[in-house]
């Protein structure tokens, strides 16, 4: 924790850099391996290395850890960065299912999973840019 009086932030609650990296790597492993995620996999480059890093860097800062993404790229501008990709409810739902599965597999505490899924849903829903 940053100060004795403060509650731990999400980055600390999830287990810091090592656990967050494990979760992001599992997310992309599942996306690459599981047929149910083929829709969102098709929106990514052939190699997922850059995607893995960018999501890890973004989530690090978003969860209250080091602002790695902002240090390299500036403001995330999530919606603008995702506009080139056709995202509707099926893509949103695949992303959310893949992330839920990754969190479960790496052992993120259940209450934290629920809290994160609510935030992830709000953001993923906002990314939709294609008519249903």
Per-residue pLDDT, 6: 83
Share of the chain above pLDDT 90, in %: 93
In this predicted structure, the answer to whether residue 2 has a pLDDT above a threshold of 60 is no
DSSP character string of 64-130: TS--HHHHHHSS--HHHHHTTS---HHHHHHHHHHHHHHHHHHT--HHHHHHHHHHHHHHHHHH--S
Q: What global pTM score does this model have?
A: 0.92
The answer to whether 69 and 61 have CB atoms below 8 angstroms apart is yes
**pLDDT bucket at 3, cuts 50 / 70 / 90:** low
Query: What mean pLDDT comes out for the span 9-18?
Result: 97
pLDDT above 70 for 43: yes
């Amino acid at each position: 924790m940053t100060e004795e009086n403060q509650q731990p932030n999400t980055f600390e609650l999830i287990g810091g850099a090592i656990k967050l990296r494990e979760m992001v790597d599992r997310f992309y492993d599942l996306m690459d391996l599981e047929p149910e995620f083929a829709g969102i996999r098709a929106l990514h480059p052939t190699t997922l290395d850059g995607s893995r890093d960018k999501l890890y860097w973004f989530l690090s800062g978003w969860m209250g850890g080091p602002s790695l993404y902002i240090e390299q790229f500036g403001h995330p501008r999530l919606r603008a960065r995702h506009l080139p990709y056709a995202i509707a409810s099926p893509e949103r739902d695949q992303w959310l299912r893949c992330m839920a599965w990754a969190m479960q597999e790496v052992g993120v505490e259940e209450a934290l999973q629920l809290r994160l899924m609510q935030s992830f849903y709000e953001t993923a829903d906002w990314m939709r840019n294609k008519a249903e």
